[in-house]
Structure 1
Amino acid sequence: MSTKGLDHWGDILVVVIYFCLILGIGIWSLCRPNRGNVNQYFLAGRSMPWFAVGASIFSSNIGSEHFVGLAGAGASSGIVLVFYEWFVIFEILACAWVFLPVYISAGVFTLPEYLHRRHGRGRIRVYLSSLALVLYILSKLVVSIFSGSMFIQMALASIIALLLITGVFTVLGGLRAVMYTDTFQTAVMMIGAVIVTGYGFEEVGGFSNLQAKYMNAIPSVRNENTSCGLPKADAFHLFLDPVNSDYPWPAILVMSTLGASWYWCCDQMIVQRSLAAKNLSHAKGGSIMTGYIKLLPMFLLVFPGMISRVLYPDDVACTEPSVCEKVCDNSAGCSNIAYPKLVLELLPYGLRGLLMVVMFSAVMSSLTSIFNSSSTIFTMDIWRRIRREATQRELLLVGRVFVVFMCGVSVLWVPIIKSSAGGQLFTYMTAVEGYIAAPLGVVFLLSIFWTKTTEPAAFFGLIIANIIGGIRLVLEFVYPTPSCGEMDQRPTILKMNYLYFGVMLLFITACIIVGVSMFTSRRSLDELEGVTWWTRYSQEKPGEISLDNQSEADFETKENGPRQGMQKEDGEVEDKTVCQKILTFLFGHTDVHQIEEFLVQKRRQFLHQGRKSKILLNVNAIVLMLVIAFLTGFFH
Structure 2
Amino acid sequence: MMEGNSTVGSFTPAQQFSVADVVVVVVYFSLNVAVGIWSSCRVNRNTVSGYFLAGRDMAWWPIGASLFASSEGSGLFIGLAGTGAAGGIAVTGFEWNATYALLALAWVFVPVYISSGIVTMPEYLQRRFGGERIRMYLSGLSLLLSIFTKISTDLYSGALFVQVCLGWDLYLSTVLMLVVTGLYTIAGGLAAVIYTDALQTLIMVLGAIMLAVKAFNEIGGYPNLEEAYLKAVPSKIVPNTTCHLPRADAMHLFRDPVSGDLPWTGMTFGLSIMATWYWCTDQVIVQRSLSAKNLSHAKAGSILASYLKMLPLFVIIMPGMISRVLYPDAVACVDPEECTRVCGAAVGCSNIAYPKLVVELMPSGLRGLMIAVMMAALMSSLTSIFNSSSTLFTMDVWRKLRPGAGERELLLVGRVVTVVLVALSVVWIPILQSSSGGQLYVYIQAVTSYLAPPVTAVFVLAVFWPRANEQGAFWGLMAGLALGLARMGLELAYPVPRCGVPDRRPWLLADIHYLHFAMLLCAATGAVVVGGSLLTPPPP
Which category of TM-score, normalised to the shorter sequence, fits these structures?
over 0.9
In structure 1, what is the equivalent of residue 241 of structure 2? 226
- Alignment partner, residue 304 of structure 1: 319
Q: Which amino acid is the alignment partner of residue 304 of structure 2?
A: M
- Show the counterpart of 1:3: 11
Which of 104, 114, 132 is the equivalent residue of 2:142? 132
- Does 2:262 align with 1:247? yes
* Residue of structure 1 equivalent to 2:102: 92
Match runs of 1:19-168 below 5 Å: 19-154=29-164, 155=166, 156-157=168-169, 158-168=173-183
1:214 is matched with which residue?
A: 229
Secondary structure of 1:380 counterpart:
helix
How far residue 244 of structure 1 moved from its aligned partner, in angstroms, is: 1.3
Between the aligned partners of 2:118 and 2:17, the Cα distance in structure 1 is: 49
Amino acid at match of 1:3: F
Please tell me whether the aligned partners of residues 85 and 320 of structure 2 are also in contact (alpha carbons under 8 angstroms).
yes
- 2:191 maps to 176
Q: Which whole-Å CA distance do the structure 1 matches of 2:39 and 2:538 have between them?
A: 46
**Range with greater deviation from structure 2 (458-467 or 353-362):** 458-467
* Aligned-pair CA distance for 1:257: 1.7
**Further displaced range: 78-87 or 150-159:** 150-159
Aligned counterpart in structure 1 of residue 487 of structure 2, from 472, 476, 487: 472
Q: 2:43–2:55: 8 Å Cα contact kept in structure 1?
A: no
The answer to whether the Cα contact below 8 Å between 1:262 and 1:439 also exists between their aligned partners in 2 is no
Q: Kindly state the Cα deviation for residue 421 of structure 1 after the two structures are TM-superposed.
A: 4.0
* The one of 333, 350, 359 aligned to 1:318: 333
1:480 to partner: Cα distance: 0.5
Which deviates more from structure 2 when the two are superposed, residues 412-421 or residues 514-523?
412-421
Does residue 313 of structure 2 align to residue 289 of structure 1?
no
Q: Where in structure 2 are the equivalents of 1:100-499 lying within 5 Å?
A: 100-154=110-164, 155=166, 156-157=168-169, 158-424=173-439, 427-495=442-510, 496-499=512-515
Residue in structure 1 matched with residue 3 of structure 2 by the alignment: none
Q: Give per-residue Cα distances to partners, 1:428-482, cap 9 Å, x unaligned.
A: 4442222112221111000000001111111111111111111111111111011
- Counterpart contact for 2:348–2:437, Cα < 8 Å: no
Contact 1:260 1:438 in 2 (8 A): no
Q: Do 2:449 and 2:517's aligned partners in 1 also have CA atoms closer than 8 Å?
A: no
Q: Distance in 2 between matches of 1:485 and 1:286?
A: 48
Instruction: Write the distance in 1 (CA, Å) between the matches of 2:439 and 2:200.
Output: 29
SS at match of 2:11: coil
Q: Offset at 1:110?
A: 0.2
SS at match of 1:256: helix
Shift of 1:409: 1.2
Distance 1:85 1:444 in 2: 22
Distance 2:424 2:130 in 1: 34
SS at match of 1:462: helix
The 1-side partners of 2:252 and 2:379 are apart by: 33
Tell me what 1:539 maps to: none
Equivalent pairs counted in the alignment come to 524
Which of residues 475, 478, 500 in structure 1 aligns to 2:516?
500
Q: CA–CA distance in 2 between the matches of 1:466 and 1:364? A: 31
Q: 2:537: which partner in 1?
A: 521
What per-residue deviation string (whole Å, max 9, x for no partner) do you get for residues 74-111 of structure 1?
Answer: 00111111111112211110000000000011100000
Shift of 1:26: 1.9
Q: Separation in 2 of the partners of 1:262 and 1:419? A: 29
**Contact conserved, 1:139 with 1:430, CA < 8 A, in 2?**
no
Alpha-carbon distance in structure 2 between the residues aligned to 1:334 and 1:472 = 26
- Matched letter for residue 110 of structure 1: T
Quick check: 2:158–2:374 contact (8 Å CA) kept in 1?
yes
Please, what TM-score do these two structures have when normalized by structure 2? 0.95
The answer (yes or no) to whether the contact 1:259–1:506 under 8 Å persists in 2 is no
Which structure has greater helix proportion?
2
Shift of 1:422: 3.2
| Unpaired stretches in structure 1, ≥5 consecutive residues | 525-636
Are residues 33 and 133 of structure 1, via their aligned partners in 2, closer, same or farther at CA, if it must alter by over 3 Å? closer
Q: CA deviation at 1:185?
A: 0.2
Distance 1:502 1:268, change over 3 A: same
Q: CA deviation at 1:4?
A: 3.9
AA aligned to 1:388 is P
Distance in 2 of aligned mates of 1:452 and 1:416:
44
Alpha carbons 1:317, 1:334 under 8 Å: kept: yes
8 Å Cα contact 1:259/1:503 also seen in 2: no
SS of alignment partner, residue 247 of structure 1:
coil
Q: CA 1:488/1:354 → structure 2, altered by over 3 Å: closer, same or farther?
A: same
| Structure 1 CA distance for aligned equivalents of residues 427 and 105 of structure 2 | 35
Tell me if the contact between 2:95 and 2:309 (Cα under 8 Å) persists in the aligned partners.
Answer: yes
Q: Distance in 2 between matches of 1:22 and 1:58?
A: 17
- What is the RMSD computed on CA atoms of the aligned residues? 1.2
Asked if the contact 2:107–2:299 (Cα under 8 Å) also holds between the matched residues in 1, the reply is yes
Secondary structure in structure 2 of the residue aligned to 1:258: helix
Task: Please identify, of 195-204 and 501-510, the stretch whose mean Cα deviation from structure 2 is larger.
Answer: 501-510
TM-score (norm: length of structure 1): 0.81
Q: One-letter code of the match for 1:476?
A: E
Query: How many Å separate the matches in 2 of 1:178 and 1:52?
Result: 10
Q: For residue 632 of structure 1, what is the aligned residue in structure 2?
A: none
State the alpha-carbon separation in 1 of the partners of residues 430 and 360 from structure 2.
27
Output the amino acid matched with 2:68.
F
Cα distance change of structure 1 residues 294 and 425 upon mapping to structure 2, 3 Å threshold? closer
CA positional deviation for 1:416 = 3.1
> C-alpha offsets along residues 24-65 of structure 1, whole Å, 9 cap, x if unaligned?
112212332521100000000000000010001111000001
Q: Distance in 2 between matches of 1:110 and 1:499?
A: 27
Shift of 1:237: 0.6
- Comparing 229-238 with 407-416, which one deviates more in the overlay? 407-416
Equivalent position of 1:581 in the other structure: none
Aligned to 2:416, what secondary structure does the other structure show?
Answer: helix
Letter in 1 for 2:238: N
Please list every run of 5 or more consecutive structure 2 residues that lacks an aligned counterpart in the other structure.
1-6
Shift of 1:425: 5.7
Q: 2:323 aligns to what SS in structure 1?
A: helix
5 Å matches for 1:541-552? none
Match of 1:573 in 2: none
3-state SS of 1:257 partner: helix
**Larger displacement relative to structure 2 (56-65 or 430-439):** 430-439
| Rounded Cα–Cα distance in structure 2 between residues aligned with 1:437 and 1:43 | 24
